[in-house]
């Protein structure tokens, strides 16, 4: 039983020392998260543009 506890402690220590990469190119989970965030932002942008088209018209520069 003592040996089992030692193995668990070592495994826990190894898990704690793992480096988590947030680079999107290295991590498929980060890629999925970015896809979701981009999708939400795009939907919000489209909704606002449809409800308020004047917000996205090119403004004339005052000379």
Rounded CA-CA distance 24/2 in Å is: 41
Q: What are 10-61's pLDDT values in tens digits?
A: 666 666 667 777 777 888 888 999 999 999 999 999 999 899 888 877 766 6
Whether pLDDT at 1 is above 60: no
pTM exceeds 0.75, yes or no: no
- pLDDT of amino acid 6: 65
Whether pLDDT at 9 is above 70: no
- pLDDT of amino acid 16: 66
């Amino acid at each position: 039983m003592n040996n089992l506890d030692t193995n668990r402690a070592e495994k826990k220590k190894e898990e704690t020392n793992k480096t988590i990469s947030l680079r999107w190119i290295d991590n498929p989970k980060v890629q999925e998260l970015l896809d979701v965030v981009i999708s939400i932002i795009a939907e919000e942008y489209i909704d606002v543009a449809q409800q308020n088209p004047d917000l996205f018209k090119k403004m004339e520069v005052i000379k």
